[in-house]
Amino acid sequence: MMMEKQFDTLKVEISGNAAWVTFNRPESLNALNLQMMTELQEVLNELKRDADLQVLVLKGEGKGFCSGGDIKAMLKMNGEEDFQHFMKVINDLSITLYTMPKITVSAIHGAAAGLGLSLALATDVVIAEEQSKLAMNFIGIGLVPDGGGHFFMQERLGSQKALHTIWRGEIMNGQEAYSLGLIDKVTAEGRVSEDTEAFVNMINSSPVKAMMESKSILRASRRSQLEQTLELEKDAQWRMRQTEDHIEGIQAFTEKRKPVFKGQ
């Protein structure tokens, strides 16, 4: 299969039975704006229909994997209608990735933060370099995780560790995230592409149909909870956007200073 369409924010390469999808907004550390997410959904839908493809890899161009949602783009949203549309695109992406009938891999170097980390955790295997920077850092701007962040953190860490990790919003390197149980493999600096390629080659010599049956069973049993969590996140995100702490968090971000939160 060859994808004929060219995308502004993504690069898609088909190699054998694997698709490599690269976030391609390096000037913004691959921050997710509406166009990028819409194009990603289009790509995933097309790849999903290709029975010859067995593996899907997500990676980032430039200095990092994905810095999260594009805050500048979000500041331009005009009211609740824009917000609801934005969140629907996010939710559809998370469900598509989680239930994708392929073995899905996130190959992380540099930053994987906020929504970028949520989407990475939606894949089956997360590989990150030792000095990568992973953070579920919504708390820093007075928000809660979205993109299924609560669900994926709970799956990987358990409820209590997930809660405390979300509350802290701290940046972890690859080794710290691996020790916590958040990611599946840590690799040396500069080696994530090579090690991901080795993993793809291993999958090629594995009984993929049996692997996919197990994935399908486990995902089917959890899909409704993911959908419920996404709806709860959407509602909470709208409420948090009205708070004084969120407004202060955004101002502090744009002014490049530490926020002063008041619990309001």
Q: What is the pLDDT of residues 10-35, one digit of tens each?
A: 999 999 999 999 999 999 999 999 99
Contact 93, 139 (CB under 8 A): no
Q: What is the pLDDT of residue 29?
A: 97
Closest CA to 139 of 245, 251, 68, 232: 245
Q: What is the pLDDT of residue 6?
A: 87
Kindly tell me the burial class for residue 240, based on how many C-beta atoms sit within 10 Å of its own C-beta (0-12, 13-18, 19 or more). Answer: middle
**What's the pLDDT at 74?**
77
- Measuring CA to CA, how many Å separate 69 from each of 15, 31, 116, 192, 226? 29, 5, 7, 23, 20
Say if CB 92 and CB 45 are below 8 A apart. no
DSSP E strand stretches across the chain: 10-15, 18-23, 55-60, 103-108, 111-113, 125-129, 133-135, 185-187
pTM of the model: 0.95
Other C-beta atoms within 10 Å of 192: how many? 26
* Rounded Cα–Cα distance for residues 200 and 123 (Å): 14
pLDDT on residue 77: 76
Q: Could you report the average pLDDT of every consecutive run of 10 residues in the chain (264 residues)?
A: 76 95 97 96 96 96 96 79 94 98 98 98 98 96 97 98 97 98 97 96 94 96 97 96 93 90 93
What are the residues facing 247 on neighbouring strands? Answer: none
So what's the pLDDT on residue 24? 98
